[in-house]
Amino acid sequence: MRRLLLEHDQVPGIETYEVYRKQGGYRSVEKALKKMSPEDVLEEVKKSGLRGRGGAGFPTGMKWSFLAKPEGVPRHLLCNADESEPGTFKDRYLMEKIPHLLIEGMITSSYALGANVSYIYIRGEYMWVLDILEKAVAEAYDNGWLGKNILGSGFDLDLYVCPGGGAYICGEETALIESLEGKRGNPRMKPPFPAVAGLWGRPTVVNNVESIAAVVPIVNDGGDEYAKIGVGRSTGTKLISACGNLERPGVYEIEMGITVEEFIYGDDYCRGIAKGKKLKACVPGGSSVPILPHYLVTKTATGEDRLMTYESLAEGGFESGSMLGSGGFIVFDEDQCIVRNTWNFARFYAHESCGQCSPCREGTGWMEKVLNRLEHGQGNMRDIDLLADINKKIEGNTICPLGDAAAWPVAAAIRHFRDEFEWHVNHREEAQKRNYGLISEKTASA
Amino acid sequence: MSSTTPVDMSLRHSEKPQFSEEKMAEVQRIIAQFPEGKEKSALIRILHIAEEEFGGWLSIETMDYVAEILEIQPIEVYEVATFYTMFNLDKTGKYVFEVCRTGPCMLVGSDQLIEHIGKKLNIKVGETTADGMFTLKTAECLGACGYGPMLQCGKKYHEHLTPEKVDQLIEAYRSGNTNTES
Ligand SMILES: Cc1cc2nc3c(=O)[nH]c(=O)nc-3n(C[C@H](O)[C@H](O)[C@H](O)COP(=O)(O)O)c2cc1C
Ligand code: SF4
Ligand code: FES
């Protein structure tokens, strides 16, 4: 089991500069600034096959190569530490435990991109993590890793940490940029893409905390070494934040390609379902990805082992697959109610819609209302079809993907657990008193 | 939608707020993080500081004062203050308990926790206790999903909560011990 990011998370004092440096910290900055050109760094990141860890999985090297470089215009690297996708708490762990790893990644990445002023945008609720980061940034300045002419290389970098104010949508990269400009977090129409016109209209790259941290081992050991870990186009390690009804929830660094079975039940990971109960369902990549019923969690529809990779979790498409997403791994035990959870998530999206596009603003509100009705035993059969219909009206008709992110999980829940939705209609009184659990033939565990 | 709260123009501070010299230095340090002409970028952080300094909420006077510092229109501040859920546009209790109510926390008992706190403090979600000590709110996912149920109070996260732990927490806050670990 190789750990590239959290290798030293248990070393006492690793949050301080001294200890971090003693463990080999800031080597990637030395290597990049003294021995490599920015293009060399980019080349290693491309070779590594690293894909964005914020949820979309877009290749980081490719994203970097799109950055426009007009003469005389400053460019910026923004770290997305907004982490608000339900089920996701990995970035917080990394920043809290090993703040210097993110700062080191920011320096090496900014060098590759030719950015001289970079920002970490962190959700406002993580204010104490902001304090930890600022302390680490100050240490980095004091030791010559930030500021003017770093290591005599001629490269200058200033790094700042900025808080949000509580808004899930600010994790969307253009909303993040708006927020960083001191405005409401309304996503922008694209194009232009941030790579051309981002922060203050300047070329900008937005990357997730974990993506930026991963640049450190990639530069230290080389992209090829990194790409040796994993399966196919899912290379390297991935932080998974596991929660819900697990024996041992928490943040784990996995090698891409271990089986879902091992992750849920293995001694090194979650150690099975809490209180000896049975697995009912799993949302493997944060609240925006489709839910999987237990019989599709550890195996695909064709009976193959499901792996913790982008491809394997998506195997089967919308019919029988899901997504790796942000790595927010949510597990449901046999007592949980899928209708209630679907309603809960719908309420989340209705609350978090920025309100700019009517299909999303109205649609998320309607889904919440209808699901609320169903959950509380006041719905009817038509409501279930109505939900599928609202879905179609939101999908593809909005400025940003939040509308889709709200609609898809509802569709998936109805696809796999329709019987449970119908039971809520047919057993109004009972639905108020108890959860559906694992009672049907279809979802009953062997 | 997080932007439905209107600015209640009746909510005012009786005096014009004024940062201490020390706080003003902090505010200036933050403004200096951004290029000339882009000072507005400091707005959200300054609002956090202003809220902490001026009674835990943002009055019209506070927002106007922040606008003055950043040399922007007051409406630009109201717009932002009403969009983000962390800002209180209303007076709150001394301690605001924000209990996460989102899916992963619900799976491990946040509904029951919210109910328990409400009963214990004899208030509903959104209300403040008569003695002005506690306000109970709910929040969406706070990034502590593996450690739920949980609540945030000020800068602190209280995780792995049980009814007993919350009772102790309330007592601790009542007696002024805000450094309680949980
Ligand atoms: C509604 C919404 C919320 C998002 N929230 C986050 C987030 O909290 N953190 C994050 O890194 N990316 C988030 N993203 C993805 C970002 O838009 C962006 O793709 C990502 O930060 C790019 O970084 P990466 O390529 O390193 O993954 C969100 C996207 C959407 C549409
Ligand atoms: S899809 Fe929703 S969140 Fe995204 S811009 Fe439109 S209204 Fe805002
Ligand atoms: S769901 Fe409660 S902290 Fe994430």
Q: With helix as H, strand as E and coil as C, how does A343-379 read?
A: HHHHHHHHHHCCCCCHHHHHHHHHHHHHHHHHHCCCC
State if residue A77 touches ligand 1 by the CB under 6 angstroms criterion: no
pLDDT in tens, A207-221: 999 999 999 999 999
One-letter amino acid at A318 equals F
Q: What's the mean pLDDT in B90-119?
A: 97
In 3-state terms, what secondary structure has residue A314? helix
Nearest atom of ligand 2 to the alpha carbon of A403: 1
Give the best residue of A119, A158, A351, A435 to mutate against chain B (max B CB count within 10 A).
A351
Predicted confidence at residue A15, as pLDDT, reads: 98
Predicted confidence at residue A445, as pLDDT, reads: 40
A162/B48 CB distance under 8 A: no
pLDDT in tens, A15-70: 999 999 999 999 999 999 999 999 999 999 999 999 999 999 999 999 999 999 99
ipTM of the assembly? 0.95
- Confidence band of B2 (pLDDT split at 50, 70, 90): very low
In chain A, which residues have their Cβ closer than 8 Å to the Cβ of B147? Answer: 89, 249
State if residue A400 touches ligand 1 by the CB under 6 angstroms criterion: yes
Q: What's the mean pLDDT in A176-189?
A: 98
pLDDT in tens, A221-276: 999 999 999 999 999 999 999 999 999 999 999 999 999 999 999 999 999 999 99
B143/A83 CB distance under 8 A: yes
Token pair belonging to B3? 């932007």
Instruction: Give, using CA atoms, the residue closest to atom 8 of ligand 2.
Output: A354
What does the alpha-carbon distance between residue A310 and residue A382 come to, in Å, rounded to a whole number? 35
- Ligand with the closest atom to the CA of A399: 2
Q: What is the mean pLDDT of chain A?
A: 95
Nearest atom of ligand 3 to the alpha carbon of B142: 3
State if residue A208 touches ligand 1 by the CB under 6 angstroms criterion: yes
Predicted confidence at residue B10, as pLDDT, reads: 64
One-letter amino acid at A153 equals S
Among residues of chain A, what percentage have pLDDT more than 90? 92
Phi-psi sector, A222: left (phi>0), alpha (psi -120 to 50), beta: left
- Confidence band of B1 (pLDDT split at 50, 70, 90): very low
- Confidence band of A436 (pLDDT split at 50, 70, 90): confident
Residue B118 CA to ligand 3 center (angstroms) comes to 19
pLDDT in tens, B28-44: 999 999 999 999 999 99
Residue A177 CA to ligand 3 center (angstroms) comes to 25
Q: State how far residue B124 is from chain A, nearest Cα, in angstroms.
A: 19
Predicted confidence at residue B6, as pLDDT, reads: 56
- pTM of the predicted structure, to 2 decimals: 0.96
Phi-psi sector, A13: left (phi>0), alpha (psi -120 to 50), beta: left
Confidence check: pLDDT of B5 > 70: no
Q: Which of A368, A337, A340, A372 is nearest to A352 (CA)?
A: A368
In chain A, which residues have their Cβ closer than 8 Å to the Cβ of B108? Answer: 243-245
Residue among B111, B142, B157 to mutate when testing ligand 3 (max atoms within 8 A of CB):
B142
pLDDT in tens, A346-384: 999 999 999 999 999 999 999 999 999 999 989 999 999
Let me know how long chain A is. 446
